Amino acid sequence: MWLNQEFILKKHPIVIAIDGTSASGKSTNSKLVAKALGYVYVDTGAMYRTLGWYCLQKRVDIHDAKAVATACRKWKTSLECVETKTHLRAVHLLVDGYYPDKEIRTAEVSATTSLIAAVPKVRDWMKKKQRECIQFGDLVMEGRDIGTNVFPDSNFKFYLDAKLEERTARRSADGIHENLAARDQRDSQRAAAPLMIALGAKVLDNSKMTSAETSEWLLTEIRKLMQPAK
């Protein structure tokens, strides 16, 4: 009986979808939740950043949607689940066997990413690749369209947000100066998989909360959802 249950769990991994605005704490809290539960962490934003970096490396015209879509269709990628220095299991999107960990965090790549992420063909490719991550088991996946587009059938959907002033302050504290209002507008108004609250998602404004408080709230809600119905 135990083997059968284990097989079922492996066949149908749990996906905890954590969506939200920029600087709402998605990354930090997704990592904390994944580590607490022993799940695999997936940063979908890093996947888009990797494509943005690749386009810059290959001198692809990022304003040409067809050129970007072609690059996305032809680049050679693979998924790898690794254990990080903080003992967190995470999925990386490799390009020709290489993961550009530091390269994708530059301001130039950030600006490029917001453009290429709006290309419908890119989002279609990313959705398929992100769904392949379930091969690694139970996931905590963060992004902007996980609950609405990538795994809309998940029973564990969350949406994090914070006041614009607070999110801007968080970015500045990290040494990053970004027009978040403009980014919010681009994300919510793009034609392909716009940023929105998924049906059934639990919403949290964590403007006045620490990461520890936010992750504890998430874990409490997740554990409630995991309890069998009475």
Q: What is the DSSP string of the chain?
A: -HHHHHHHHHHS--EEEEEE-TTSSHHHHHHHHHHHHTPEEEEHHHHHHHHHHHHHHTT--TT-HHHHHHHHHHS-EEEEEEE-TTS-EEEEEEETTB--TTGGGSHHHHHHHHHHTT-HHHHHHHHHHHHGGGGGSSEEEEESSIIIIISTT-SEEEEEE--HHHHHHHHHHTT----HHHHHHHHHH-SSS---PPTT-EEEE-TT--HHHHHHHHHHHHHHHHSPP-
Over the stretch 62-86, which tens digit does the pLDDT of each residue have? 999 999 999 999 999 999 999 999 9
Would you state the pLDDT for residue 142? 98
Lowest-confidence pick of 40-49, 189-198, 207-216: 189-198
Q: Please provide the average confidence, as pLDDT, over all residues in the chain.
A: 92
CATH 3.40.50.2300 describes domain 14-218: no
Domain boundaries, the chain: 14-218
The predicted model scores a pTM of: 0.89
Report which of residues 202 and 111 the model is more confident about: 202
pLDDT band at residue 6 using 50, 70 and 90 as cut-offs: very low
pLDDT surpassing 80 at residue 211: yes
Whether the predicted pLDDT of 3 surpasses 70? no
- Residue 230: pLDDT above 70? no
The pLDDT of residue 107: 83
